[in-house]
């Protein structure tokens, strides 16, 4: 039995039943469901979830609209369920606080793979032993144990997957990683690599740590190769 608590938000009863059945078969027994954004927000206020599956096309308020509200109460990975396949919709999902997306109609095996990958990364980040693992740069710090980003000594909100990508780069400063390598290391599923996912999360990191995100001095692009986080010897 897997102890992780999962919230599924979808207004289609058939989807809720399918996902509950698939997850139960894989050992996930702590599963709650909601059919509206309001129900999802109330659920997150009363229960600490480890992962949320969030449909985009909800009645009254869309998944994109309620995601920022959910982010006020949880840093758990949020995976959007969507029938939309355009890049703009995918980028919107990341911009409002989502960590990944699953396109309908979906393969149940893909859902399980993504859920397991995100839970693995989420729990690894939140259960790192206290070994004084604080990565200090000139203007910001990343605390592995506390799961906290501080910029100019002020705590900055950082969604789980954004924090995990930043943490991986902090653990490997001055090294260039391709988009594919970053996806494999942080998301953990080679077959689902997506350039847009990396690009959006890189942008979200820059918004938090860079003095001027449009002219990065820490998280820079190695043209044609990938990205690297610069750490000078006097940082």
pLDDT (tens digit per residue) in 67-101 = 999 988 888 999 999 886 666 777 777 888 888 88
Average pLDDT of the chain, as a whole number: 86
What's the average model confidence in pLDDT over 105-115?
87
The pLDDT of residue 18: 93
Instruction: Tell me which of 135 and 189 has the higher pLDDT.
Output: 135
pLDDT category at 159 given cuts 50, 70, 90 is: confident
On the question of pLDDT at 144 being above 60, the answer is: yes
Dihedral angle computed from the Cα positions of residues 200, 201, 206 and 208, in that order, rounded to the nearest 10 degrees: 120
The pLDDT of residue 6: 95
- Rank 119-128, 157-166, 183-192 by mean pLDDT and report only the highest: 157-166
The overall longest dimension of the chain from CA atoms, in Å, is: 57
The pLDDT of residue 130: 40
Reference 79, options 35, 115, 47, 110; nearest CA is 115
Per-residue model confidence as pLDDT tens digits over 30-44 = 999 999 999 999 999
pLDDT category at 190 given cuts 50, 70, 90 is: low
pTM as predicted:
0.60
The pLDDT of residue 3: 78
Q: Which residues contact 82 (CB under 8 A, 6 or more apart)?
A: 55, 56, 57, 63, 89, 93, 101, 102, 103, 104
The pLDDT of residue 13: 93
* Measured distance CA(66)–CA(62) in Å, rounded: 7
Query: How far apart, in Å, are the Cα atoms of 211 and each of 152, 153, 158, 170, 208?
Result: 10, 14, 17, 17, 8
Q: What percent of the chain has pLDDT over 70?
A: 90
Ranges of H-type helices in the chain = 13-25, 37-46, 63-71, 87-95, 108-126, 160-171, 179-186, 195-209
Look at strands 140-143 and 78-82 and give their pairing: unpaired
* Measured distance CA(218)–CA(147) in Å, rounded: 20
On the question of pLDDT at 202 being above 90, the answer is: yes
- Output the CA angle 227-209-92, nearest 5 degrees: 75
What's the average model confidence in pLDDT over 214-222?
95
pLDDT category at 127 given cuts 50, 70, 90 is: very low
Question: Are the beta carbons of 225 and 176 closer than 8 angstroms?
Answer: yes
Query: How far apart, in Å, are the Cα atoms of 230 and each of 66, 82, 116?
Result: 35, 36, 31
Instruction: Tell me which of 72 and 1 has the higher pLDDT.
Output: 72
Per DSSP, the chain holds a count of helices (H) and strands (E) of 8, 11
The pLDDT of residue 86: 64
């Amino acid at each position: 039995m897997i102890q992780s608590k999962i919230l599924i938000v979808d207004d289609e009863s058939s989807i809720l039943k399918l996902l509950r059945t698939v997850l139960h078969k894989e050992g996930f027994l702590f599963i709650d469901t909601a059919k509206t954004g309001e129900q999802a927000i109330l659920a997150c206020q009363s229960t600490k979830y480890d992962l949320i599956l969030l449909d985009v096309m909800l009645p009254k308020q869309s998944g994109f609209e309620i995601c920022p509200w959910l982010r006020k109460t949880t840093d758990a990975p949020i995976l959007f369920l969507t029938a939309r396949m355009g890049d703009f919709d995918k980028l919107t999902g990341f911009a409002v606080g989502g960590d990944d997306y699953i396109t309908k109609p979906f393969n149940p095996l893909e859902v399980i793979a993504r859920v397991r990958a995100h839970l693995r990364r989420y729990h690894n980040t939140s259960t790192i032993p206290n070994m004084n693992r604080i990565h200090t740069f000139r203007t910001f710090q990343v605390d592995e144990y506390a799961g906290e980003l501080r910029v100019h000594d002020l705590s900055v909100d950082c969604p789980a997957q954004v924090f995990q990508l930043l943490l991986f780069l902090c653990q490997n400063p001055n090294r260039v990683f391709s988009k594919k390598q970053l996806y494999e290391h942080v998301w953990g599923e080679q077959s689902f690599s997506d350039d847009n996912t990396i690009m959006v999360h890189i942008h979200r990191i820059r918004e938090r740590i860079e003095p001027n995100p449009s002219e990065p001095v820490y998280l820079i692009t190695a043209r044609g190769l990938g990205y690297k986080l610069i750490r000078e010897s006097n940082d």
